[in-house]
Amino acid sequence: MQLSVWTYEGPPHVGAMRVATAMRGVHYLLHAPQGDTYADLLFTMIERRGCRPPVTYTTFQARDLGKDTADLFQRAARDAYARFDPQVMLVGSSCTAELIQDDPAGMAEAMRLPCPVVPLELPSYSRKENWGAGETFYQIVRHLADRDVRPAPHEGRRPLANILGPAALGFRHRDDVREVRGILATLGIEVNCVAPLGGWPADVARVGAADFNIVLYPEIGDSAARWLEREFKQPRTKTIPIGVGATREFITEVAALAGVDPTPALQDGESRMPWWSRSVDSTYLTGKRVFVFGDATHAVAAARVAHEELGFEVVGLGCYNREFARDVRDAAKLYGVEPLITDDHLEVEDAIAAAAPELVLGTQMERHIAKRQGVPCAVISAPVHVQDFPARHSPQMGFEGANVLFDTWVHPLIMGLEEHLLTMFREDFEFSDDAGASHLAAHSPSRHAERVSASSAPRAPAIQEEDWPPEQVRGDDEDTLWTAEAEAELKKIPFFVRGKARRNTESFAAEQGRAAIDLETLYDAKAHYAR
Amino acid sequence: MKADAFSLPAESGCAAPPEREVLRERGQREVFCGLTGIVWLHRKMQDAFFLVIGSRTCAHLLQSAAGVMIFAEPRFATAIIEERDLAGMADCHEELDRVVDRLIARRPEIRQLFLVGSCPSEVIKLDLGKAAERLGAKHAGQVRILNYSGSGIETTFTEGEDACLASLVPVMPASAPDTAPQLLLVGSLPDIVEDQFLRLFAQLGIENVGVLPARTADGLPAVGPNTRVLLAQPFLGETAQALEARGAQRIDAPFPFGAEGTTAWLKAAAQAFGIDEMHANSVIAPGRERAKRALEHHREKLAGKRISFLPDSQLEVPLARFLATELGMEPVEVGTPYLNRKLVARDLEQLPESTRISEGQDVDRQLDRVRADRPDLTVCGLGLANPLEAEGLSTKWAIELVFSPIHGFEQAGDLAELFARPLRRRDVLQV
Ligand code: SF4
C-alpha cells in the first residue's frame, strides 16, 4: 500500500477517458461504480467542455455483485449504443470492476454490437493515467488502422503528415496543435489526421496514408507512433517543439522527413522571444535558480528553454511519470543535477525547499508548494487546473509558444528595473517591505495573507482557490540563533532574496557549528555562497 | 431502457397515509460516492484523520471533489492498494498496520482515526472492522480508531457522512437513565451555523445539548433513553436508527431551511422539551423576521420560476419545499438518490401535487426529461452543469449546497441567493 494525499495522475481509465473525449464518434463503456462518475467533472469543469464526456458508466452497486453485474454491463452496452450511435465503442473496467472480473471485452464481443469494439485492459493497480491514455490510443490505432491504406505516390501531391498525441485535459494541447499546423502549412505539408484531439474513427482508419508521424506528446502518442513505424514504415518525429531552439530543430526534422525546404518556417517574423531575452532588461534573469518538475516531456523541454534561452540555472529537474524517466535522467546530467523521479508530492516539496530556487516551473501541485514556500511559480505541465485553459490562444509549442513561455515565466519574477528601484528606495516609507512589486500580489507571501485563517465556514466549494488552514502557516519566530543585530541587518536585505539569505546563513552556521548568528556569521555566509 | 427499470418493489414498513407516487429509476447514476463526505467532515472534526483504503481512483476522486484545496498535509489520505497487496490478505493487513503506525507517529495531534472502506476494499473483503479493533487496541489511550464504508457500491455522496456518524454511535457514552432530557443535534454543520443554533436552544431554555459530530474526540456526547434527536440533515437515516437503537427518540420535524423550515424545526424541539409556546415564539421571532426580510429580496426574482433537481445529496426534498412554500418557485421534478420517506415526511407533504418525485437515477432519461420540461433552473452535479448550460438551461451546482452554510434563519437569504444568482446572471449577460 502506498500512502497518498495528492496524486499527479489519476487511474488509467481516466487516461482512456481523455482519449475518448478528445475524439469524435467514439463512446466508452466503463464498468465502474457510481462514484467513478466524478471524472466527468474534470472535463466539464476544468476544461469547460460544453458536452458530457462520451462515457457510460455501468454504476453497479453492492446488491448487484455476484448476480447480475454482467447482465448490467450488457444492458448498458445496448442502451449506450442505441442512444449515442457511436462509430467505435471502447469497453473496459475501472479498478473495482477489474476485481470482480466480469470480462467486459468478452461480453462486448459476445453481444456482436453493430460497431467495432476496442477492448481496453488497463491494470488499475499498477498503472496510471498517462499510461492509460497512451495504451488506449495505441489500441484504437491498432484496431482501426486500415492496413491497405498506404501513402500515394509522391508525384503531384504535397507531403502528408499525421499529428499524434494531443488529447482532452492536456496542457495547452488545443493551442499547440494550431501552432504546429501553422508550421506545416508554411512548409507546404498537409495534415492527414490529428488524433486523438478532434479525430474521427475514419481519420484513424486512414492513418496509413501519411508519409510520416508527428508526435507532440510522447506520453500519449508514442506507443501508437512506434507501432505505426513498425507496421506502416512511417517515420516519426522525436523533437518536441517547445522553445525557440527546439522549434527550429523540429522544423528542420519535419522538413527533412517531408523532403521540403525548412527555410520559410524558420524565418518567422513573429518570434520575439530571442530579442526579449537579449534585451537589457532581461539581464537580471541571468543565473536565476529554477526548479523544474512535471511530466517528462514538458519538464525536459522547460529545462532546456530555461537554461539555453533565458540564462537560468537549472537547480532541480524531475518528473512524476516513471515510464519516461530515462529522458529526465539524461537531461539532468546536462545540468549536473540529481534527477527526481517520484509521484510523491511531499518528496518534491522537500527537494524544492532544499534547492532554494528563485522560480519553480511545475504543475499545479508545484504551484501550491511554491506558494507555501514563497517562491514564484509558472505552470508548465499537467495535472491541470481551470486556469490552465485560458480563453485566449496560449500555446507552449512553436515560436509563438516560446513568446508565451517568456511572458509566463518571467512575469512571476520581479521585473528587472523594478528590482533596482525597490533596492534603492527600500527605506522610503512608500516602499514598505510587505508591499512587494505591484504585479506580484499573487506570488509574494505577504505576512498578512498568511496569517488570515481559513474562512469561518468549514466547507469550501469545489473548483475554487484553496484557503489556508491556520495549522499550516509557518511561523518564523523560532529562530533563537539570530542576534538582534544580525536580525536587523537581515531585514535590510531586499525581501525577495531575504529568505534565501536566511536559509543560507543558517545552514552555513550549522555546518560551521556556530552557536549564534551574528553580523560576522551573516557576512561570512554571504562570502561563502558568493558565486 | 425497458420497463424492468421501474420494477423495484415499493419500500415496506411505512404505514403513512396515501403514498405519494414516486418514479423509481435504475440506470446509470451520476453522483459522487460516500468518500466525498471526508472533504467536509475532516474540516468539522478537527482532530480526526480519515484514511481511505482504496485505489488511485478513490484518491483522485477526493482530490477532484476537494477542488484544489491543496493543504500541505490535510487530515485525509488514501492508502492505495497495489498489485502486490492483492496477492494475499495477510499481507494487506500488515501493510495497513504499517501505514497506520507511521501515520500516527507522524501526526501526534490526531485523536480519532477513521479507516474508510472503498469499493476495492469491500470487493476484496478487507475486514476494516477487525483492523480498527486491532489497531485501536494497539493505540488505545492515544487515538480512537473506527471504521465505516464510503464506497460507491454502498453509499451515495452524503451517505458517507451518515456512515461516519453511525460509526460513532456505539462509542458514545451512555447517559444515566435519571439524567435530565438531553437534546442531540445530529449532522455536521459549519461551526458558525451550529453556534447560532446552540444560542437559540439556550435561549429557549434547553440546557443539555449535545452535538454529533463533535468538533473534537473528547466532545463526543452521551446518548440514552432521555436523548431527543434533532436531525439537521435529511440524509442521516442510518445514524438515526443507530441512535434509536440506543434508546434515543427522534423529533419529527421539517428541516431547518428558510424562515418557515427553521421555525418549525425549532418549535418541534421546544415542544419536545415542554417549552412554553409563548416563550418559544418570542425567542424565535427576531430570527424569523430577519429571515423573512432577507427572503423578500429574492422572492421577486424567484417566484413562479420552475426548478428541477437531479439526484445528489438527499437535500432535494427539503430544499424544494423551501423554494416552493417560501419563495413561490414551482418544483417540476425533484430527484433524490434515495427517498427516506420517514425523515423527510414533513417536507414531502408540503410539496405541490404537480411535482414529480423521482428516486434513484437513469441519467440519460433524466436529462431527456429536463430537456422536455425546460425548467428555469436545474440543480445538478458538476459533471452535468456546463453541458446543460451549453444547451441553454441555467443550472446551480448541487455540491455548493452541501459545502456552504445554508441552514437556519441567518443563512436563509444566502440560500435563496444561491438559486437567484444563476438566474440573475443569465439576465445580466449580453454576450
Ligand atoms: S466509487 Fe468506489 S472506487 Fe470509485 S472512488 Fe468511490 S469508493 Fe473509490
Question: CA-CA distance, A272 to A80, in Å (whole number)?
Answer: 50
Between the CA of A188 and the centroid of ligand 1 the distance, in Å, is: 50
Report d(CA B212, CA A143) in Å as an integer: 56
pLDDT value for A420: 52
Looking from the CA of residue B61, the nearest atom of ligand 1 is: 5
Residue A309 has pLDDT above 70, yes or no: yes
User: Among A81-90, A260-269, B352-361, which stretch is predicted with the lowest mean pLDDT?
Assistant: A260-269
Inter-residue contact B60 to A11 (CB < 8 Å): yes
Burial bucket for residue B27 (CB in 10 Å: 0-12, 13-18, 19+): buried
- CB burial string A428-437: b at 16+ within 10 A, e below: eeeeeeeebb
SS (H, E, C) chain B: CCHHHHCCCCCCCCCCCCCCCEEEEECCCCCCEHHHHHHHHHHHCCCEEEEEEECHHHHHHHHHHCCCCCCCCCCEEEEECCHHHHHCHHHHHHHHHHHHHHHHHHCCCCCEEEEEECHHHHHCCCCHHHHHHHHHHHCCCCCEEEEEECCCCCCECCHHHHHHHHHHHHHCCECCCCCCCEEEEECCCCHHHHHHHHHHHHHHCCCCEEEECCCCHHHCCCECCCEEEEECCCCCHHHHHHHHHCCCEECCCCCCCHHHHHHHHHHHHHHHCCCCHHHHHHHHHHHHHHHHHHHHHHHHHHCCCEEEECCCCCCHHHHHHHHHHHHCCEEEEEEECCCCCCCCHHHHCCCCCCCEEEEEECHHHHHHHHHHHCCCEEEECHHHHHHHHHCCCCEEECHHHHHCCCCCCCCHHHHHHHHHHHHHHHHHCCC
Report the pLDDT averaged over residues A100-113: 89
DSSP per position, A245-277? HHHHHHHHHHHHHHT---HHHH--TT--HHHHH
Q: Which of B29, B32, B61, B148 to mutate to test the pocket of ligand 1 (most atoms within 8 A of CB)?
A: B61
Residue of A nearest to B1 (CA): A79
pLDDT tens profile B211-250:
999 999 999 999 999 999 999 999 999 999 999 999 999 9
Residues 41-70 of B with CB under 8 A from A: 43-44, 53, 55-61, 63-70
The residue that leads in pLDDT, A474 or A411, is: A411
pTM (2 d.p.): 0.88
Residue A253 exposed, middle or buried by CB count within 10 Å (0-12, 13-18, 19+): buried
Nearest to B22 by CA among B291, B361, B391, B287: B361
For residue B185, CA distances in Å to A155, B193, B214, B348 come to 82, 12, 10, 22
Q: How many degrees, rounded to 5, is the angle at CA A387 between CA A269 and CA A398?
A: 20
- pLDDT at residue A520, as a whole number: 87
Hunting for cell 494497539 — which residue is that? B138
A481 is in an annotated binding site: no
Q: Percentage of chain B surpassing pLDDT 90?
A: 85
The confidence band for A464, taking pLDDT boundaries of 50, 70 and 90, is very low
Interval B316-332: pLDDT, tens:
999 999 999 999 999 99
Going along chain A from its start, the domains and CATH numbers come out as 12-128 (3.40.50.1980), 160-266 (3.40.50.1980), 273-410 (3.40.50.1980), 416-449 (no CATH), 472-530 (1.10.8.550)
CA-CA distance, A118 to A88, in Å (whole number)? 7
Summarised one tens digit per residue, pLDDT across range A435-455 is: 444 444 444 443 333 333 333
Q: Residues B11-37: what's their mean pLDDT? A: 80
In the stretch 115-154 of chain A, residues with CB closer than 8 A to chain B read 123-126, 128
* Chain B interface includes A467 (CB < 8 A): yes
Sequence-ordered alpha helix ranges (H) in A319-374: 325-335, 345-355, 364-373
Q: Select from A36, A65, A99, A100 the residue to mutate for testing ligand 1; criterion: most ligand atoms less than 8 Å from CB.
A: A36
Of the two residues A460 and A156, the one the predictor is more confident about is A156
- C-alpha A481/C-alpha A513 separation (Å) is 12
Least Cα distance to B194 among B180, B182, B206, B212 occurs for B212
Q: How far is it, in rounded angstroms, from Cα B51 to Cα B38?
A: 9
User: What mean pLDDT is reported for chain A?
Assistant: 87
The count of other CB atoms within 10 Å of the CB of residue B130 is 11
C-alpha cell at B20: 405519494
Range name among A433-447, A478-492, B83-97, B283-297 with the lowest pLDDT average: A433-447
Number of A/B CB contacts below 8 angstroms equals: 246
A459 and B404 within 8 Å at the Cβ level: the answer is: yes
Angstrom distances, CA of residue B364 to CA of A47, A56, A79, B29, B367: 22, 10, 10, 9, 5
Grid coordinates 472503498 are at which residue?
A: B118
Contacts of A358 (CB under 8 A, 6+ apart): A288, A289, A290, A375, A376, A413, A500
Cβ atoms of B356 and B333 closer than 8 Å: yes
Does pLDDT of A431 surpass 60? no
Q: B43, B44, B49, B71: which to substitute to probe chain A, counting the most A Cβ within 10 Å?
A: B71
In the structure grid, which three cell numbers stand for residue A27, read together?
A: 463512446
Closest CA to B291 of B421, B418, B411: B411
Collapsing DSSP to helix, strand or coil, A32 comes out as: coil
Rounded distance between C-alpha atoms, residue B243 and residue B237, angstroms: 10
Average pLDDT over residues A38-63: 95
Question: Is residue A443 within 8 Å of residue B50, measured between CB atoms?
Answer: no
Q: Do A462 and B66 meet the contact criterion of CB atoms below 8 Å apart? A: yes
> Which range (A213-227, A414-428, B195-209) has the least confidence?
A414-428
Q: Is B410 on the interface with A (CB under 8 A)?
A: no
The pairing of beta strand A2-4 with beta strand B76-80: antiparallel
Residues of B in contact with A464 (CB under 8 A): 67-68
Higher model confidence: residue B182 or residue A487? Answer: B182
Whether the predicted pLDDT of A371 surpasses 90: no
| pLDDT recorded at residue A415 | 57
What are the pocket residues of ligand 1 if the criterion is a CB atom closer than 6 Å to any ligand atom? A 33, 35-36, 95-96; B 33, 35, 54-55, 57-58, 61, 118-120, 151-152
Tell me which residue has cell 466508452: A28
What cell was used for A264?
A: 520559410
Mean pLDDT of chain B: 92
- Report the gap between the CA of B119 and the closest CA in chain A (Å): 6
Q: Given a cut of 60, is residue A13 above it in pLDDT? A: yes
In the DSSP assignment, the letter for residue A308 is I
Which of B28, B84, B195 to mutate: most A Cβ within 10 Å? B28
* Residue A471: pLDDT over 80: no
Q: How confident is the model at residue A519 (pLDDT cuts 50, 70, 90)?
A: confident
CA separation, residue A58 to residues A36, A71, B382 (Å): 10, 10, 19
Say yes or no: B192 contacts chain A, CB-CB below 8 A: yes
Q: What is the distance in angstroms between the Cα of A372 and the nearest Cα belonging to chain B? A: 8
Find cell 473534537 and name the residue. B216
Q: What is the pLDDT of residue A470?
A: 33
Cα dist from A373 to A297, A360, A419, A493, whole Å? 26, 10, 20, 18
Percent over 70 (pLDDT), chain A:
86
Confidence of residue A418 (pLDDT cuts 50, 70, 90): low
| In contact, B147 and B116? CB cutoff 8 Å | yes
Predicted confidence at residue A45, as pLDDT, reads: 92
* 8 A C-beta contact, residue A56 and residue B51: no
With CA atoms as reference, report the closest residue to A14 among A220, A218, A225: A220
Q: pLDDT at position B91, please? A: 80
Is residue A42 annotated as involved in ligand binding? Answer: no
Model confidence pLDDT, tens digit, residues B60-107: 999 888 765 555 568 999 999 998 888 776 688 899 999 999 999 989
- Under an 8 A CB cutoff, do A472 and B92 touch? no
pLDDT of B189 higher than 90: yes
Does A515 contact chain B (CB < 8 Å)? no
d(C-alpha B337, C-alpha B237), whole Å:
13
Grouping H, G, I as helix, E, B as strand and the rest as coil, residue A162 is strand
Q: Is A519 flagged in the annotation as binding?
A: no
Question: Which of A7, A13, A41 would best serve as a mutation to test chain B binding (most B beta carbons within 10 A)?
Answer: A41
> Over the stretch B175-187, which tens digit does the pLDDT of each residue have?
988 888 999 999 9
Give yes or no for residue A525 having a pLDDT over 60: yes
Residue A270: the pLDDT is: 86
Q: How far is CA A207 from CA A213, A224, A433, B304, in A?
A: 9, 11, 59, 55
